[in-house]
Each structure stands twice: as structure tokens, then as C-alpha cells.
Amino acid sequence: MCPNMHFGIVAEIGAEFDANGIIESIDVLKSAHLLMRSLIAEEQGSSRIYYEEQSELEIPVTIKKADDNWQADYEAVSLAGWNVQKEALLKVFAYPSESGTRVLFITHHLLCDGRGLLQLVQEFADHYANGVKPHLVDEKLMESLDDLPSGSDLGFISKVLIKDANKKWRKEGHKISYEEYLKFERDHDSKQDIKREIKNIDEEELDTLLAMCKENGVSLNDYLVAKMMIDAGTDKVVIASDIRNEIKNYKEGALGNYATAFGVVVKKKSSKIMELAKAVDHEVRRIMSKPDKEMLVLSCYFNMDPELLDAIAISTLGGFESKAGKFVGSKMFGYEKRDGHCITNLGRIESNVIREGIFIPPASPANRKAWGVLTINKKMRICSIHSM
């Protein structure tokens, strides 16, 4: 649908470096997850696309030196583009490190969301360090509005806008080939100037933040949203929300994308971070209590003509001429202004084998700045990306 829809996790694993063991563990993961063995295929003569299992598909594993820069490897993958009809949806880099082994997992969003990738890294580490195999799971994707919670459909005005855009798209009679999209993606990505910074918050500072949040009745995520609002001078931050427990067909351990996103808007002007965090908490609770608000983005996807969905980014950011696509991309998805701010927090885990990790969020063309947050063993790492 749009460029830069890949993301990653780099993790330090407390196990002796073993190149063959790394490759073996990736093969074990591939055996457990159907989507890791699949490419995206297109049905001839129609716009229908689907996941097609490949009996000989290889997950690329690149063995690196200890002093190689994982950020440079991540950047190289970003600049190369990602042909999902020919390339596996996961790419892995591995480096010897002082604590044992460092791995970089980079995935396309068609394989999983951020929490799904964290699950994959945990499954890899458990097998690599201790020989524990992941459980086989029947992976079934969201296919329609029926998979969302009751009351998730669009409101009247939103539905009218999408219906009108669909009608205009069909009247235009356009069709975008995947080759056209790939050329646009490579051209777009080659011109991007994305800065990446890592902020470390270790146990003592994290304990102080958690105590302060508890005292004020807010979550750590509320605090982070408020901090981004103050730092960036914005009253709107988009947050990613895990909806595994709300989706009707989700099975524990399945890959696929089980996340939605919604904008948190706080008009209240305040430089006091906890006062702002309380307002954020109120707004988040309000949105999450209403399925039509929490699931708005997913509902838009299910109501929109699939070919129009594919045309949004290329119509707004590329040279493809579609008034319907540009309308949706500029007015509804923010690709024209490109001034969005976003946080994806994968939460906190404790692990005996993963020492620490960094979540690298996707550099969506709609965002100016994005934070990826991950806390492992009371070590919080915030990866901030800034599109120049």
C-alpha cells in the first residue's frame, strides 16, 4: 500500500555465537509459521491477492562481523525496496557480540505487526539458546468487518466519503501493476533522509518513571504520548493498539497483523507533563471504549475498494494520476502534509535469554517522527526516527 512499511527488532541474546545454530533456529520458526513460508501472489485477471506457500522459500540470513553496524544493514534493506512476490517477508542479520549474539530481524508488515515480531524474536531466542521449539499454530488473517468487534463499522459521514471515493475510483477505470508500485517505492525510498536515534532508559530511571505514573494514575504509554506532544509541539499523536484480544479469529501465537492505530488529540495546552498525561489517559480510554473509534483505520480498509487502497500512496506521493487516490491519501491518510507523530510501544517483557532489544518502527510517509519503544529486563529503549 505504501513505502517503508517494514520494521525491525535488534536483540542481544545471551548465548554463544553459532552461525549454523542461527540458520537452524530460523528454519524451525519457518516450519512453525505458514506465513514465513509464503509470498504474496496475485490472481490473474483480478485484483485479488493472497499468501501462497512456497515449498523451497529461503529466509535470508546474513552472518556479519562483530563490528558491523546493524543500522547500516537496516538502511540497506530500506533502500533496496521489498518485492513481496519474490522475497521472503523476513530478513535476518546476525553478529557476534560481547554478550554472545546480536540478531537483527527485519519484517514486512504483511508478515506481522510489531508485537508479532517480538514474539518471533522470543521464539528464536528460546530455540537458539535452549532448543525450545515454538508451537504450531493455525494462522488465519482478518478478512472482513465480521472479524472486528461488534459496532466497528464506519459512521455515516465516513462511510459516505469512502463510498464516494470508491465510486470515483471505479469511474476513473485505473489499474496499478505491482511493477509500477515497486518502481515508485524504490524511487521514493531512495530520496528519503531518515535520521535514527536510540535513547536508553535503564532500571533506576525506569523505576522512577513507573512510580511517578502510578502516583498520577496514568500509564507509561500516556506519559510517552504526553512527552512527544511537548517535545514536538503537537496536539495529536497516533498510537498503535494491540487488538489480539478483541479480534474474533485470532489464535494465540499466530502471525499476521493484529494492530490498529488511532489519533490521540489533546487540545489542552500544558507544559506540565503529568497534567497532559492525564488528559491523554482520558482520551485513550474514551476511544478504546468505542469500537467504531478504535477500529476506524481497519474499518476504512475493509470498506475501501482494494485497488483504491493500493493507489493511495502512489497517487499522493508518486506520479500516478488519480483524483480518488489523491483525495484519500491527502485528506484521510496524511500523505500530503507528512507531519504526523506516532508511537508504537511493544510493552515490557522479562527474558532469561534476551538481554535487551530495540524496536525500529516503520518510517511511514505520513509521519514526520515516530518512536518505537521496547522494554526488556527493565531496560527501555526508544528508537526515534525523524523524516527530514
Closest CA to 121 of 253, 11, 6: 11
**What does the pLDDT read at residue 385?**
94
Question: What confidence score (pLDDT) does residue 266 get?
Answer: 95
User: Do the Cβ atoms of 250 and 124 come closer than 8 Å?
Assistant: no
Task: Count CA atoms closer than 13 A to 98's CA, side-chain side.
Answer: 1
Residue 182, all three cell numbers: 515497486
* Nearest-angstrom CA–CA distance, 96 and 145: 46
Cβ within 8 Å of residue 290, ≥6 positions away? 151
Q: Cα 122 to the chain's mean position, in Å?
A: 17
CA nearest to 285, candidates 274, 275, 277, 273: 277
The predicted pLDDT at position 1 comes to 67
Burial of residue 236, with CB atoms counted within 10 A of its CB: 0-12 exposed, 13-18 middle, 19 or more buried? middle
Q: Are strands 379-387 and 194-201 parallel, antiparallel or unpaired?
A: antiparallel
Cell 522470543 identifies what position? 122
Q: What is the 3-state secondary structure (H, E, C) of the chain?
A: CCCCCEEEEEEEECCCCCHHHHHHHHHHHHHHCHHHHEEEEECCCCCCEEEEECCCCCCCEEECCCCCCHHHHHHHHHHHCCCCCCCCCEEEEEEEECCEEEEEEEEECCCECHHHHHHHHHHHHHHHHHCCCCCCCCCCCCCCHHHCCCCCCCCHHHHHHHHHHHHHHHHHCCCCCHHHHHHHHHHHHHCCCEEEEEEEECHHHHHHHHHHHHHHCCCHHHHHHHHHHHHHCCCEEEEEEECCCCCCCCCCCCCECCEEEEEEECCCCCCCHHHHHHHHHHHHHHHHCCHHHHCHHHHHHHHCCHHHHHHHHHHHHCCCCCHHHHHHHHHHCCCCCCCEEEEEEEEEECCCCEEEEEEECCCCCCEEEEEEEEEECCEEEEEEEEEC
Non-local CB neighbours of 279 within 8 Å, separated by 6+ positions? 226, 266, 268, 270
Q: In the prediction, which pLDDT does 259 show?
A: 93
Give the number of other Cβ atoms within 10 Å of residue 323's Cβ. 13
Model pLDDT, residue 186: 87
What pTM was estimated for this model as a whole? 0.95
In order along its 388 residues, the chain shows pLDDT tens digits of: 677 889 999 999 999 999 999 999 999 999 999 999 999 998 876 667 889 999 999 999 999 999 999 999 999 999 888 999 999 999 999 999 988 999 999 999 999 999 999 999 999 999 999 999 999 888 888 888 999 999 999 988 999 999 999 999 999 988 888 888 889 988 888 888 889 999 999 999 999 999 999 999 999 999 999 999 999 999 999 999 999 999 988 889 999 999 999 999 998 777 799 999 999 999 999 999 999 999 999 999 999 998 899 889 999 988 889 999 999 998 888 888 888 999 999 999 999 999 999 999 998 888 999 999 999 999 999 999 998 6
Going by their DSSP bridges, the two strands 6-13 and 100-108 should be labelled as antiparallel
